């Protein structure tokens, strides 16, 4: 019971910290950072777009880790991690696509184009939406977890493809401004823009871990309900 209460207190603290960072990030992104020399104010969508996709990548990395561990040890805890992270990853990927679409209209003139990076990101969303559907379609819990774990490992292969797509193919999507092998971030981006990006990224990370802690706890409670129902059936 004490452990439970300290977990709840920790989650609340994380949530409050996320709220503060998000508020500071909004101020930096919408007020403090200067407009882009070419794109103007619309470039401010970057302060949402980049943190969203990096959070989605982190989430799918956790799905990958949880899936590998489940395939190895067959423990429900690892499956719960993969399942929870997949749900959050789908949310952040969908948001990234929506933000990108809104950013694309004034800069590219279209809401959507079949560019390599955009298409691969849409495929990523489909893979993990399929992952969630697969889990809900199979009644046997162990079989659902096993099938989902295999898809969770295979699906992760799409992420390096997304990252490298701007180098391997001629794309409309710009190459990375921050994660470049040839330049350090502060050599390429205005310090105020970089600060806004960093604050927003930390805010997204804190929010992500807060949501993940809630989603993990939900998975644990559901498992306990199922176990108790099975026990009651056995009486």
What residue ranges bind other proteins (CB under 8 A)? Answer: 26, 30, 40-42, 44-45, 48, 52, 91, 94-95, 98-99, 102-103, 105-106, 207, 211, 214-215, 217-218, 221-222, 224-225, 228-229, 231-232, 235
Identify which of residues 16 and 30 has a Cβ nearer to other proteins in the complex.
Answer: 30
User: What minimum distance in Å lies between the beta carbon of 184 and other proteins?
Assistant: 28
Identify which of residues 49 and 117 has a Cβ nearer to other proteins in the complex.
Answer: 49
User: What minimum distance in Å lies between the beta carbon of 68 and other proteins?
Assistant: 26
Query: 115 φ, ψ to 5°?
Result: -75, 150
User: What minimum distance in Å lies between the beta carbon of 14 and other proteins?
Assistant: 13
Tell me the C-alpha distance between 86 and 80, whole Å: 10
Contacts (Cβ under 8 Å, ≥6 apart) of 158: 120, 123, 124, 127
User: What minimum distance in Å lies between the beta carbon of 30 and other proteins?
Assistant: 7
Tell me the C-alpha distance between 110 and 219, whole Å: 40
Tell me the C-alpha distance between 48 and 182, whole Å: 24
Identify which of residues 76 and 217 has a Cβ nearer to other proteins in the complex.
Answer: 217
Identify which of residues 104 and 155 has a Cβ nearer to other proteins in the complex.
Answer: 104
DSSP of 22-52, one letter per residue? HHHHHHIIIIISPPBTTTBGGGGGHHHHHHH
User: What minimum distance in Å lies between the beta carbon of 216 and other proteins?
Assistant: 10
Tell me the C-alpha distance between 60 and 66, whole Å: 10
Contacts (Cβ under 8 Å, ≥6 apart) of 173: 115, 116, 117, 118, 165, 166
Identify which of residues 5 and 170 has a Cβ nearer to other proteins in the complex.
Answer: 5
């Amino acid at each position: 019971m004490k452990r439970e209460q300290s977990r709840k207190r920790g989650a609340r603290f994380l949530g409050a910290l996320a709220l503060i960072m998000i508020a500071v990030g909004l101020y930096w992104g919408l007020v403090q950072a200067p407009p882009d020399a070419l794109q103007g104010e619309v470039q401010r969508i970057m302060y949402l777009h980049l943190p969203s996709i990096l959070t989605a990548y982190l989430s799918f990395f956790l799905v990958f880790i949880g899936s590998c561990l489940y395939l190895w040890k067959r423990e429900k805890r690892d499956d719960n991690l993969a399942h929870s992270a997949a749900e959050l990853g789908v949310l952040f990927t969908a948001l990234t696509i929506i933000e990108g679409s809104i950013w694309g209209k004034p800069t590219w003139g279209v809401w959507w184009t079949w560019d390599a990076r955009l298409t691969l990101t849409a495929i990523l969303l489909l893979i993990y939406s399929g992952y969630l559907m697969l889990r809900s379609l199979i009644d046997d819990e162990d079989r659902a977890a096993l099938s989902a774990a295999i898809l969770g490992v295979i699906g992760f292969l799409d992420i390096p493809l997304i990252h490298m797509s701007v180098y391997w193919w001629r794309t409309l999507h710009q190459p990375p401004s921050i994660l470049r092998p040839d330049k350090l971030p502060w050599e390429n981006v205005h310090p105020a823009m970089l600060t806004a990006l960093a604050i927003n990224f930390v805010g997204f990370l804190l929010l992500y871990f807060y949501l993940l802690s809630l989603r993990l706890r939900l998975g644990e409670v559901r498992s306990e309900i199922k176990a108790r129902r099975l026990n009651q059936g056995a009486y």
